[in-house]
Amino acid sequence: MTSHETSRLLAGLNNPSPAVRRESARALGHVGERSAIPALIDHLADGDPDVEDAAAEALTKLRGRDVAARLVPMLALEHVGLRNRAMQLLRRVGGDAPDLLLRMLQDGDRDQRIFCADIIGSLRVGGAVKALCAALLRDPDPNVRAAAATSLGQQNDPACLPSLVESLGDDEWVQFAVVEAMANIGDPAAVDPLLGHMENCSELVRARIAEALGELADPKSAPHLLEAVAKAQGMLLCLLCGALVKTSEPEALLGLADDLREKVYTGLLDALYEPSEQLQALALRGLCVLADSGAVYSILDLARDTNSEMIAQLAQQALCAIGATPPLLSAARDPDARLAGAAISTLSRLGGHEAHQILREALGHPSAAVRRLAVAGLGRLGHASDIDHLLDLSADPEPSVLMEVAKALGKSGRPEALDRLGELLEHDDPEVRLQALASMLRMPGEQLMDALERGLTADNAKRRQLCAIGLGQLKAEEAFGQLAQLLDDPEPSVRRAAAWAVLQGRGLPPLAHLEKVLDDPAREVRLALVEALAQTADRASHALLVRAMDDADLDIRLLAIRSLGQARATDAVSALASRLAATETAVKLAAAAALGEIGDPTAEGMLLALLADENPTVRQVANDAIQKIGGRF
């Protein structure tokens, strides 16, 4: 960058316009102009947030000792916002001048030492761990010691463990930070010191140690945890039991002495009511192992109230492990929809005679959500004897229930379900109609064909439309005649579906029957046919697309032209060439591009005439098409 450009950007930092100052700061950082560092430091206090952000971004890019050296003194500022900005930057660039921060950690005032301890935790520089350990053990201020402990946890260096262990006897706030750091480092060597300290600390620290032991997940801590569990009460008991679940094998929990097992069970049960999802998850895993039926209602309460998918799944796993106990069966009949729903979901997975009976009963539950789950469960179990119950429920007023009914009837494969599914094709809810069709298509072939063909003559237009779509998906050539008759249906949606279905027939000459669709008075019918033709590759389709180039609707004409180009329809070259003289520029452009895609050399001379067109875009597209043809041949 020239000196003139540098001067212009530096001057821009003092421009009255915040936008100019912002862009100047960004540019100086981008080009690495180090002479701008003092000015950029000043603009951290610009007053405009965007300019301040741009200055900070530029300083981060410039980095270096000179940047860090100007930021370190800002830790002494009383302006909180500016001081915090300096801290943020030093977390990124402080590693370029670590000695300045390490010196301030020793010699600065109390607040400066706290800030430095915090910043150093983010840096990976030589001497950081040693300096933080020294601050932890010798600094006179507990807040500095706590900050040093937290940063040692961020450094994640096991070498600091002896210093952390030594500080377990410090003030409570420091102890808490020390335990947190030991958990973050994750060294199993921390287990014994933490267990030994549990007898000599406050309830707050003891609870954090229990969590830390779970995070360390060292199996050798399990016996010591059990000793602590035997004496613990309240929240501490919950935390210790959670840690025990994390560190113990299932066999160890099952092999506990009765009194200790009861204590663990109580702690896990109480943990379900704690706000921590992590603790709830551990409790559910433990209760899944213990499989005590007394936990069913508590687990159901949690499953009812939680918004966490993970907790809901773990609750169901625990309930399945416990089995179809009387409390679970009773809960499935509860008027509370969420409670009953949780029980029904579990019974659906458990199966068995009792579960099957309860699911049938739940079909009459006042809650649509419960009925839906019951239908889904019966569909999963797949008992042939349930078909009549499902058929009766196909008149349910709730679409979500009908969706599951349709799915279950489809899974049954029973021919008697076809008529009821056919009726659902007339439902007001489009999702119900589509699910009913999807379920019908899973049925045996001969009965399905009969049902769909009957549906083509139904009074309901929705049913005629969906039956046509179904026959198209089956590529049912035997229904071709009936589908062709629907091309004259009074409903445009039915004609559209019939045209698509006719086109799906294998080995059929659709041209004679589909030509009249191109004259359909409904634009959406003609457009749907052209869209379907674009997906085919036979010459008969090309002929229809050529005809569609004369459609009254510009969008349809353009789609037909582009489709012929994408299909590389050499049989359409002459027709496309005639569109090069169209009055609409869009048609002219589309035809030229299509001829380029086809690549027939006979079109080159026709395209040359467009090079004299008054529209530069037309000339460019024509030139591109000529280049494609020349490159291809």
Residue 75 makes CB contacts below 8 A (sequence gap 6+) with 83, 86, 87, 90, 104, 108, 111, 112, 115, 116
- Domains recognised in the chain with CATH numbers: 186-290 (1.25.10.10)
The single-letter DSSP state of residue 333 is T
Q: Tokens in use for 498?
A: 């019939």
Region 490-518: mean pLDDT is: 81
Give the mean pLDDT of 275-297: 94
Can you read off the two tokens belonging to residue 134? 């020294």
pLDDT digits (tens, 9 = 90+) for 147-183: 999 999 999 899 999 999 999 999 999 999 999 999 9
Look at residue 579 and tell me whether its pLDDT is greater than 50: yes
User: In the structure encoding, which two tokens stand for residue 523, read together?
Assistant: 């634009």
Tell me: pLDDT of 529 over 50: yes
- For 36, the token pair is 């701008």
Asked if pLDDT for residue 511 goes beyond 80, the answer is no
Of 62-76, 253-267, 269-283, 525-539, the poorest mean pLDDT is in 525-539
pLDDT at 195 over 60: yes
Torsion of CA 67, 70, 74, 79, to 10 degrees: -80
Report pLDDT for 236: 85
* Residue 608 structure tokens: 């040359």
pLDDT score recorded for residue 537: 67
Calculate mean pLDDT across residues 511-537: 88
Cβ burial, residue 291 (10 Å; 0-12/13-18/19+): middle
Residue-level pLDDT at 633: 42
| pLDDT tens digits, one per residue of 447-468 | 899 999 999 999 999 999 999 9
pLDDT over 80 at 359, yes or no:
yes
Taking the model in full, what pTM does it have?
0.65
10 Å Cβ neighbour count for 360?
Answer: 16
Residue-level pLDDT at 1: 58
For residue 203, what pLDDT band results from cuts at 50, 70 and 90? confident
| C-alpha dist (Å) from residue 522 to 84, 463, 624 | 66, 20, 36
CA distances to 61, 354, 384, 570 from 573, rounded to whole Å, are 58, 72, 60, 5
pLDDT for 388 beyond 80: yes
- Residue pLDDT, tens place only, 62-107: 999 999 999 999 998 989 999 999 999 999 999 999 999 999 998 8
Rounded to the nearest 5 degrees, what angle is found at the Cα of 500, between the Cα atoms of 495 and 506?
A: 135
Q: Rounded CA gap, 478 and 572, in Å?
A: 31
Highest-confidence segment of 471-475, 590-594, 604-608: 590-594
73-84 b/e with 16+ CB inside 10 Å = b? ebbeeeeeeebe
Helix/strand/coil for 316? helix
CA distance 73 to 101: 10
What CA–CA distance (Å, rounded) separates 563 from 402? 40
Q: Is 174 exposed, middle or buried (0-12, 13-18, 19+ CB in 10 A)?
A: buried
Lowest pLDDT segment from 38-42, 118-122, 307-311, 532-536: 532-536
Residue-averaged pLDDT of the chain: 91
What is the DSSP annotation of 467-521? HHHHHHHTT-GGGHHHHHHGGG-SSHHHHHHHHHHHHHSTT---HHHHGGGGG-S
Q: Helix count (H) and strand count (E) of the chain?
A: 41, 0
- For residue 193, pLDDT over 80 is answered with yes
Average pLDDT over residues 512-516: 81
**Strands (E) located in 235-327:** none
CA angle, residues 491, 497, 503, in degrees to nearest 5: 135
| DSSP conformation class of 533 | H
